[in-house]
Each structure stands twice: as structure tokens, then as C-alpha cells.
Amino acid sequence: MMEKICWYVFEILATCFETLIILNFAKEFLGKKVNGKKFIMGFWIFWLLFSLLVTAVNSITEFESFGAVLYSTIVFIFCLLYLNGSIPIKFIVSLIPIVSIIIVNSVVATAVSTICGEGLENLIYQQSIYRTFTVVITKFLLYYLLLVIQKVFEKEKKFSMSFSEWISIITTFLISTAVFTIIDLINIENKLNEMGKILALFGLLCLVILNIVSFYMIVRLSRTNYIESENKLLKLQNEYQAHYVENIKLEEKEIKTIRHDLKHNLFVIEAQLKQGKIEETQKYISTLLHQQVFLGGTVCTDNETVNAIINSKIIYAKSVGINVFVQSSKYIINIDDIDLCNLLGNLLDNAIEACEKITSNERYIKIQISADNDMMTLSIKNSIEKSVLKNNSKLLTSKKDSSKHGFGFTSVNHIVNKYNGKLDIYESPDNMFCVTVILRTD
């Protein structure tokens, strides 16, 4: 009786250790979205639920593969509620430890069965020293395997994978998992002789190597994609900086013009006053006061990317007769520069393009940026002659070459989702097309 109790306690402790490893891996990989007591309470509640679920499944079958979907689901829900990252990344992180469990368990159990001559069924279902040894080895191997995966991605700091690349890697892992499961099932039924077990072990090791190569591909593709993204950002920044320099030169030229005109205007005023033409002088001064003087770049935040993009767009808008009014806080929250380039570039290009179609002199754009702690609000409004949403509610491109255009709001939506934000598009009664974007980094 005591032996059964000790064995039951050992199995529960092994399960608790395994679930703790998995949830901790997800936490370290993604980082916490909430802090303090709320996260601590949530972590331990999910750990308890996860442990109870695994224990319940193990009471039905010791075969890990049968509970894989349930295990991945509970880890995924934990990631959604408490951890950072996009939904695809959270899905990947919820799969990695479960696939790792199946691979480690299958390889270790087959190796112990082949070396010790013990049936795989006995290792899984019967209480024995071989079962104890197998459980201990698998848990510690799982711990170190997940630690290595975490350290590799931590070293890379940032990674960038396209959806199709993720699908390819996941498919490889899932196919491998299915093969591991099939080999285990055949082995459990004792349908393999000694040579068959050796071949099965060799096949499993080959699959492990395949998965290591696949994992290496993730890291390499991640590094390559991230470098390409950085190069793209640098190219954009250089272009915007070039426009910014051009803007400054234009400002300097305008200032010289203003100084020259000011001197001329003062001579005129002086001459009129000497002649006693008070009323004419007042009208002349009134005319001067109502003239709009616009100096190119007006944005100066603590983010050079934001400054360069908006100021370069301002100078272009001015060159085509569009007035731009900007109100911005100096502080900009920690948003990836590439996302800032895509977000501001797309929205401002759309606003400028819409204003260029206006035939009247009412061509203007209003930009407002406010930031507070971990939230930023961006509002861009442009004048319109007729409703855009009435005839084009999906905001499809109106350009002839639609294959090369029309991805602006798709890109904006992607960025908004990435930062758990909100996108609001509407038209105001005073003929303004309005886009409001809220981004969060909490």
C-alpha cells in the first residue's frame, strides 16, 4: 500500500515539475504582459489546472500524444491572457514544449527499451526502476531542451518570420510528432523484434536531427529576415533624412526671402507714415498679418524616425499646395521603427493622395500625436470633396495598377493588431476623412 502511495506521489511530482517547466518556458520566451500579484496568481492557477489536467489524462493513458491538443490549448490560453507577443507567436510557443515532450519521451523510452531489453509497454504502464529512470531522464532532458531553445532566441533578441515560413516549420514538427507517435504505438504492441527496435531508435534519432535542422532554419531565417528588415529601415531613414535636409535648405531660403520682404515692407510702411497715409498703412499692415508664412519641418519629437517621416511628408505636401498642421507630444512610446515607418508613411501618403485630388483651395492635413505611458494615439485628418466611405467602404485602391497598391490599410491593420491597439476610420461633418490609431506596448 505504501509503495503505491509513494509511486503515486512520485508521478504527481513529475507531472507538476513538467507543467512548471512548460509555463515558465512560455513566460521567459514571451515576457509578462501583466505584472505583480495578478500575474503571480494567474501563473499558479494555470499551473494547478495544467497539472490536474495532465494527471487526469495520465489516469486514462500514460501516452503523452493523446493529451497533446489539450495541453497546447491550456498553454495557449495562458499566453493569451498573461504574456506578450502576437497570436501566431503565442500559438508557436504553446506548441514547442508539447512537441518537445513527445519527442523526448519517445526517444528516451525507445532507447531505454532497446538497451535494457525492457518492453516499451512496461516502461509506460508498470511501476519499475526502469520506469522511474525513464521519467527522471525525460523531465530533465525536457528542462534543458527548452532552456536551450529559450537561450538561442534570447541571444537573437529579435526575430522575424513570415507566416508561410512558420507554417513550413510547424508542419515539419507536426509530421515528426505523428511519426514518433506511430513508432511508439507499434513498439508498445511488441510488434518489433530487437533489430526492429534498433531500427526504430535509429529512425527516431534521424527525426530528432531533422527537427534540430528545422529549428536551426528558424534561427537562420529569423536572423536573415531581421537583417533585411533593418536594412529596409535604414534605407527608409536615409530617404527621409535626405528629404529632411532638403526641408532645412528650403527653410533657410524662405527665411532669407522673409528677411528681404520684411525690409521692403518696412520701407513701404515708413514712406506711407511720412506721407501721413495712416489708413493706407493700417490696411497694408492688416494684409501682411493675414498672409500665411509656412516653414517646412515643424515636428521635433524624441524619435528621429518620426521627425524624418513627418517632416519629409510636410515638405512634399507644401510643394503641391497642401497645408499641414501638426500637434505632437515630444515623447513617443517604444514602437519598432519599421512599424512607425509603415504606419506613418502609409497614412500620410493616403492623406496627401486624397488632398491632391481636390480641385479647390481647401487642401489641408491635420496631424495629432499624443503619448502617455504605454499608449500612443495618432490622428490624421485630411480634407475631402465628397464621401470616400460611402462608395468605397473597404478602402480599396483606386489606382490603375492595383497589383502594386492597396496594401496600405492592410499594413496598418497588421501593426494595430501587433500592438493590441484600435483603428477607427470615419468622416466628420466638415468634410474631413479621419483616421485614429491607438497603439499599446503594455
pLDDT tens per residue across span 137-154: 888 888 988 888 887 766
Q: What are the counts of helices (DSSP H) followed by strands (DSSP E) for the chain?
A: 12, 5
Of residues 367 and 257, the one with the higher pLDDT is: 367
Closest CA to 154 of 30, 333, 65, 4: 30
Q: How far apart are alpha carbons 223 and 205 in whole angstroms?
A: 27
pLDDT at 49: 92
Highest mean pLDDT among 163-172, 209-218, 313-322, 383-392: 313-322
Is pLDDT at 398 greater than 60 in this prediction?
A: no
Q: Give the per-residue pLDDT at 338.
A: 77
Query: pLDDT at residue 269 above 80?
Result: yes
How many other CB atoms sit within 10 Å of the CB of residue 228?
11
Q: Measure the CA–CA gap between 200 and 44, rounded to whole angstroms.
A: 39
pTM: 0.54
Model pLDDT for residues 58-98, shown as the tens digit of each residue: 777 655 556 777 888 899 999 989 988 777 778 888 888 88
- Confidence band, pLDDT 50/70/90 cuts, at residue 402: very low
From CA 150, how far away is CA 159, in angstroms rounded? 13
**What string of DSSP letters covers 298-334?**
----S-HHHHHHHHHHHHHHHHTT-EEEEEE-S----
User: Between 3 and 350, whose confidence is greater?
Assistant: 350
Question: pLDDT at position 245, please?
Answer: 62
Q: What share of the chain is helix, strand, coil (3-state, %, to 5)?
A: 70, 10, 20
| Alpha helix segments (H runs only) across 275-401 | 278-289, 304-319, 337-356
Provide the β-strand partners of residue 437: 378, 423
Average pLDDT for the chain: 77
Distance of alpha carbon 365 from alpha carbon 355, whole angstroms = 8
With cut-offs at 50, 70 and 90, classify the pLDDT of residue 16.
very high
Distance CA 380, CA 425 (A): 10
Average pLDDT over residues 257-262: 72
Residues 384, 432: contact at Cβ < 8 Å? yes
- Average confidence (pLDDT) over 156-181: 66
Using one digit for the tens of pLDDT, what is the confidence trace for 191-239?
656 676 677 667 777 777 777 777 677 667 767 776 776 777 677 666 7
The torsion angles phi and psi of 382, rounded to 5 degrees, stand at -135, 150
Task: State which of 109-123, 163-177, 212-226, 373-387 shows the largest mean pLDDT.
Answer: 373-387
Q: Is the pLDDT assigned to residue 424 strictly greater than 80?
A: yes
Q: Which range has the worst mean pLDDT, 37-51, 293-307, 389-403?
A: 389-403
CA-CA distance, 361 to 366, in Å (whole number)? 15
The per-residue pLDDT for 407 is 41
- Which residue, 259, 249, 383, is CA-closest to 317? 383
pLDDT of residue 122: 63
Q: Is pLDDT at 132 greater than 70 in this prediction? A: yes
**Could you give the angle at the alpha carbon of 355 between the alpha carbons of 353 and 361, nearest 5°?**
150
Phi/psi for 150 (5° steps) reads: -60, -45
| Lateral strand order in the sheet of 432-440 | 323-328, 364-372, 375-383, 432-440, 422-428
Q: Is it the case that residue 120 has pLDDT exceeding 70? A: no
Q: Show the CA angle centred on residue 71, arms to residues 65 and 74, nearest 5°.
A: 165
**pLDDT (tens digit, 9 = 90+) per residue, 340-367?**
888 888 899 889 988 988 888 788 899 9
User: What is the percent of the chain where pLDDT is above 70?
Assistant: 74
Residues 180, 175: Cα–Cα separation, whole Å: 9
Over residues 330-346, the pLDDT tens digits come to: 888 788 877 888 888 88
Residue 218: closest CA among 41, 92, 314: 92
- pLDDT of amino acid 379: 93
Which residue's entry shows cell 507714415?
A: 273
Give the pLDDT of residue 404: 36
Residue 267 pLDDT greater than 70, yes or no: yes
Residue 218 host element (H or E): helix 194-274
Q: What cell was used for 330?
A: 515630444
Which DSSP helix (H) or strand (E) runs through 260? helix 194-274
Region 254-269 average pLDDT = 74
Strands 364-372 and 375-383: antiparallel
The yes-or-no verdict on residue 403 having pLDDT over 50 is no
Mention every residue, 6+ apart, whose C-beta is less than 8 A from residue 195.
Answer: none
pLDDT band at 165 (very low <50, low <70, confident <90, very high): low
C-beta neighbour count of 176 within 10 angstroms: 21
Count of residues in the chain? 442
- pLDDT, residue 393, reads 57
pLDDT for 255: 65
Question: Among residues 414, 303, 326, which one has the least CA distance to residue 378?
Answer: 326
**What does the pLDDT read at residue 66?**
61
Given a cut of 80, whether residue 390 has pLDDT beyond it is no
**Spatial contact of 71 and 21, defined as CB atoms under 8 Å apart:** no
Q: Which residue has the higher pLDDT, 243 or 284?
A: 284
* Residue ranges covered by each domain of the chain: 2-231, 294-440
Query: Which CATH number is correct for 294-440, 3.30.565.10, 3.40.640.10, 3.30.300.160, 3.65.10.10?
Result: 3.30.565.10
